[in-house]
Amino acid sequence: MHKPLTRQNRFDAAREDAGMLELGVCYYPEQWPREKWDEDARRMVELGLAWVRIGEFAWSHIEPQPGTFQWEWMDEAIEVLGCAGLKVILGTPTAAPPKWLVDRYPDILPVDARGVVRKFGARRHYCFSSRRYRVEAARITEAMVRRYGDNPFVHAWQTDNEYGDHDTIHSYSDEAKLAFREWLAARYGTIEGMNHAWGTQFWSMHYNSFDEVDLPNNLVEEPTPTHLVDYYRFSSDQVKSFNKAQVDIIRRHSPGRPVTHNFMNQNTDFDHYEVGEDIDIASWDVYPMGGLINGRLSAEEKARYLRVGDPDQTAFNHDIYRAVGRGRVWVMEQQPGPVNWAAHNQSPADGMVRLWTWLAYAHGVDMVSYFRWRQAPFAQEQFHAGLLLPNSEVDQGYLEVAQVAEEMARLPQGERRGKAEVAIVLDYESRFATRALPQGQGYAASAIALDWYSAIARLGVDVDVIGQHSDLSGYKLVVAPDLVIPDADFIARLKASGAKALFGPRSGSKTRDMHIPADLPPGPLADLIDFRVTRVESLPEYHSEAVLYGNISHAVTGWRELIRTNETVLATFEGEHRQGGAAIIGNDHTRYVGTLPRGEFLGRLMGDTLRWAGVESLSDLGDLRLARRGNLRFAFNYGNAPASVPASATAEFLVGGRDLAPVDVAIWTETR
Ligand code: GAL
């Protein structure tokens, strides 16, 4: 048992309940000499931090030899941090199994798509399907939760760390193969059911039993897409059950303390709603500099936003994880300066750490924790900034956090993010579908969805992210950029909700078995809008087609559909090939886009769609972005020139003012 604790934590849940922003930091006591801990804890509190996350990579420090535990250092670290006034978030250490465990049970290691074992020496070296690893993960989780479950300084738990980081959801191990067969047997009941769904009459792929089925890697040509999508569904379910096992242990021995997991920027390797269902708060890790480098923008746009990041990617993710957390969302890791892991690692502009913190709060985040407290002078992340330099001097991020802490005090309590009028559908299964069958090189559903989100955000409109399970009441407009596999139930609820709907290409193009719907695409969507897609084509970047929309011709590339319809045609393809074909169609409540509008075209389309749905919007904000949390209004300037904030003459500014410098934030209220 942990030693008796003397002082209670002086923080309580009141601050969070009050809708106030709380700040925190990721800390690794095991990486620093004991003499530094007290001073570190004191300085964290002095900076205005309330939370500290520890432990998520500490397994070999807790259990250096099989069955030999050394808890004393962690007891002490929690005591030091807690007594200083910090609330501890304790991470289960399963993202980094120790060497002795790997040596003992090599079958816990994951196997990549080439069939090569991924070895020890970094982290996330485990396969979700390893039965042995599940036993071991439960064992270490239980040992940790039994020890700290009622520790007064431990206020929340984080399971594991970043499921999906370093492409670790998909493992091709023997253990995964066996588990996949069981999963298929449970899904289909009979092998003939599976044969039918997979279309195995094609290319002589017929199976006589589930025991014959292998994983879909290292084949001569591509597998049937149903094989792939089932493998993605299976892998997603493995993450859910792996996570749930830890959550159950935590709930048993540490009741009443919220459980979170730290998700990643637009990761769609597993169904996040499913994992979100089992936790109390969704958190995610915010690294906009790497996000820009790896992201959707052109090289020219990346150069323009190099030190501020994609103006919409981070906001979109806040909205995604607010949906995953059913309203409760935290930032577990906020980049405090340059990082080490992207293709290039630029320094953010001074002021961005503050801007990102306020952006998070504006989008409904209640706690922002920075990664990390002090830059490490050793090991893999030496180039990764912290709030402090390796010698403990303050770095730029620290100064900006201090500014946020000071500004926080000026804001009223009790402001909560409300429901938006516009919702964008993110459906993970549909993402599995386009991943399995992209049909064109570079087809990236995530980038398309972000383009759509961005086109709405540029018009000053708040957006909620929803899944097909979500409550649709109150929305005036639902946009679905890539709903490949719609449920009939969702379509019926959408119809009944009275919301207007805008669907992107490929919507309704596959059944759950990954077949073409019996009466052609758009399958169940035809209940909302009457058309058929009789042909699709993917187009290379070096070719564009012209689309005439409201008398203006726009170039599109990437994707074009051939649509047969009696509905109103709102835009047509011009040019030699199939001149006059429908590009956008619509009726009173539903519109469908059979191509991929971008840039100005997409902006016009969204502006018109918002007007059609009766949603108030502004003209293109350029590099300014707005958001609303309760009565608080926020503006963020991502541009390199001053911008004017669209506040009324009687607005009361709490932070900043009407003229907003680059990288600056304004917060105001309108007179009610
Ligand atoms: C995250 C991870 C952290 C740290 C960070 C560096 O993906 O959760 O442990 O490695 O990246 O930016």
CATH of the domain at 454: 3.40.50.880
The residue count for the chain: 672
From ligand 1's centre to the CA of 206, what distance in Å? 44
User: Confidence class of residue 671 from pLDDT cuts 50, 70 and 90?
Assistant: confident
**Among 165, 263, 317, residue to substitute to test ligand 1 (most atoms within 8 Å of Cβ):** 165
Looking up tokens 């087609």 gives: 545
Write down the pLDDT at residue 159: 99
How far apart are the CA of 384 and the centre of ligand 1, in A?
A: 9
Claim to verify: residue 484 and residue 388 sit in the same structural domain: no
CATH number at residue 133: 3.20.20.80
Please give the Cα distance from 666 to 663 (Å, whole number): 10
Q: Is residue 205 assigned to a domain?
A: no
Segment 197-215, tens digit of pLDDT: 999 999 999 999 999 999 9
Peptide bond into 372 cis (omega under 30): yes
Residue 214, in any domain of the structure: no
pLDDT of residue 636 exceeding 60:
yes
For residue 147, pLDDT beyond 70: yes
CB of 130 closer than 8 Å to CB of 48 = no
As a whole number of Å, the CA-based R_g of the chain is 26
- So what's the pLDDT on residue 19? 77
Give the domain extent around 650: 624-669
Q: What residues does 279 pair with on adjacent strands?
A: none
Q: Which of 22, 63, 162, 415 is catalytic?
A: 162
Q: What is the pLDDT of residues 536-553, one digit of tens each?
A: 999 999 999 999 999 999
Q: 167-200: per-residue pLDDT in tens?
A: 999 999 999 999 999 999 999 999 999 999 999 9
Q: Active-site residue among 333, 407, 421, 545?
A: 333
Same domain as 591, residue 514: yes
- Tokens for 22, please give them: 């709380």
Do 524 and 440 lie in a common domain?
yes
- For residue 545, indicate whether it is catalytic: no
Residue 342 has φ and ψ, to the nearest 5°, of: -85, 175
Tell me whether residue 218 is in a domain: no
Enumerate residues 6+ apart whose C-beta is below 8 A from 424.
319, 449, 452, 453, 456, 463, 464, 465, 466, 478, 479, 480, 481
Q: Using one digit for the tens of pLDDT, what is the confidence trace for 592-626? A: 999 999 999 999 999 999 999 999 999 999 999 99
pLDDT score recorded for residue 8? 34
Active-site residue flag, 333:
yes
First CA to last CA distance, the chain: 55
In the chain, the number of structural domains is 3
CA-closest residue to ligand 1 atom 1: 285
Q: What is the mean pLDDT of the chain?
A: 96
Asked if the model's pLDDT at residue 477 lies above 80, the reply is yes
Mean pLDDT value of segment 396-418: 96
User: How do residues 230-252 score in pLDDT, each as one tens digit?
Assistant: 999 999 999 999 999 999 999 99
Q: Which residue has the tokens 């074009």?
A: 560
Q: Do 68 and 134 sit in the same domain of this protein?
A: yes
Select from 570, 586, 613 the last residue of a domain: 613
Q: Of ligand 1's atoms, which has the minimum distance to the CA of residue 341?
A: 12
- pLDDT at residue 10 above 50? no
* Average pLDDT of the residues in 304-313: 98
Digit-coded pLDDT (tens) for 416-464:
999 999 999 999 999 999 999 999 998 999 999 999 999 999 999 999 9
CA dist 361 and 628 (Å) reads 10
Within 10 Å of residue 156's Cβ, how many Cβ atoms?
Answer: 23
Grade residue 11 by pLDDT with cuts at 50, 70 and 90. very low
Give Cα separations from 572 to 354, 452, 554, 585, 602 (angstroms).
45, 20, 10, 9, 15
Same domain, 516 and 607: yes
CA 108 / ligand 1 centre spacing (Å): 22
Look at residue 190 and tell me if it is in a domain: no
Measuring from each residue's beta carbon to the nearest atom of ligand 1, which residues come in under 6 Å?
Answer: 161-162, 165, 285, 287, 333, 339, 341, 371, 381, 384
Which residue lies with its CA nearest to atom 12 of ligand 1? 339
The residue ranking higher by pLDDT, 108 or 11, is: 108
How far is CA 242 from each of CA 95, 138, 235, 247, rounded to the nearest angstrom?
12, 9, 11, 9
Give whole-number Cα distances, 412 to 11, 21, 48, 671, in Å: 19, 11, 17, 14
Q: Residue 207: what pLDDT?
A: 98
Distance 165 CA to ligand 1 centre (A): 9
Q: Are residues 442 and 404 in the same domain?
A: no
Dihedral angle at the C-alpha atoms of 80, 83, 86, 89, nearest 10 degrees? 60
Are 517 and 493 within 8 A, CB to CB? Answer: no
pLDDT tens track for 322-331:
999 999 999 9
For the chain, percent of residues with pLDDT exceeding 90: 96
Which protein residue has the closest C-alpha to ligand 1 atom 4?
371
Judge contact between 372 and 25, C-beta under 8 A: yes
Q: Do 338 and 290 fall into the same domain?
A: yes
Domain boundary among the residues 613, 646, 661 is at 613
Indicate if 118 and 161 belong to the same structural domain. yes
In a domain, 185, yes or no: no
What's the CA-to-centroid distance between 371 and ligand 1, angstroms? 8
Amino acid 192: pLDDT = 98
The DSSP element (H or E) to which 248 belongs, if any, is: helix 225-253
Residue 181 belongs to some domain of the structure? no
DSSP state of 475: -
Are residues 268 and 375 located together in one domain of the fold? Answer: yes
For ligand 1, atom 6, which residue shows the shortest CA distance? 339
Q: Do 297 and 397 reside in the same domain of the chain?
A: yes
Distance CA 488, CA 515 (A): 16
Best mutation site among 345, 381, 382 for ligand 1, i.e. most ligand atoms within 8 A of its Cβ? Answer: 381
> How confident is the model at residue 4, as a pLDDT?
36
Cα–Cα distance measured from residue 259 to residue 12, given in angstroms and rounded to the nearest whole number: 16
Instruction: Please report, for the domain that includes residue 655, its CATH number.
Output: 2.60.40.1180
* Residue 176 belongs to some domain of the structure: no
Residue 380: pLDDT band with limits 50, 70, 90:
very high
pLDDT in the model for residue 18: 66
Tell me the residue type at 626.
L
Q: Which of 159, 162, 287 to mutate to test the pocket of ligand 1 (most atoms within 8 A of CB)?
A: 162
Which domain-ending residue is among 342, 373, 408? 408
Q: Which residue lies with its CA nearest to atom 2 of ligand 1?
A: 162
User: CA torsion 643→646→650→651, rounded to 10°?
Assistant: -80
Ligand 1 centre to CA of 434 (Å) is 28
pLDDT at 193: 98
Nearest to 321, CA basis, from 244, 265, 245:
265
Please indicate, yes or no, whether residues 391 and 481 belong to a single structural domain of this protein: no
Residue whose CB lies within 8 A of the most ligand 1 atoms, among 168, 262, 283, 285, for a mutation test: 285
DSSP classification of residue 120: S
| 456 & 521 share domain | yes
Greatest CA span in the chain, whole angstroms? 81
Note the pLDDT of residue 46: 98
| pLDDT at res. 15 | 52
556: in domain: yes
Q: Count the alpha carbons within 13 Å of 562 in the hemisphere toward its beta carbon.
A: 8
